[in-house]
Amino acid sequence: MPPLILLWAVLATAGCGPTVKVEAPEKPIVINLNVKIEHEVRVRLEKDVDDLLTKNSDLF
């Protein structure tokens, strides 16, 4: 009889577990990459200016 009571206790507590809902958000997820793009453009521009000043050192 004890195994039957144990089985009943397990089945009775199985229904008390938490439920998890996974839902899609209402608004789309937006990832802003402007910082990285600005950084790359700025580095390229600084390198171009540095090369120009190196080639034409008599400008300043």
Neighbours of 52 (CB within 10 A): 10
Per residue in 10-55, pLDDT tens? Answer: 777 776 667 788 898 899 988 876 665 565 666 777 888 888 888 8
Q: Tell me, what's the pLDDT at 19?
A: 78
Distance CA 14, CA 10 (A): 6
Distance CA 13, CA 22 (A): 23
Who contacts 53 (Cβ-Cβ below 8 Å, separation ≥6)? 59, 60
User: What's this model's pTM, rounded to 2 decimal places?
Assistant: 0.30
Q: Tell me, what's the pLDDT at 41?
A: 64
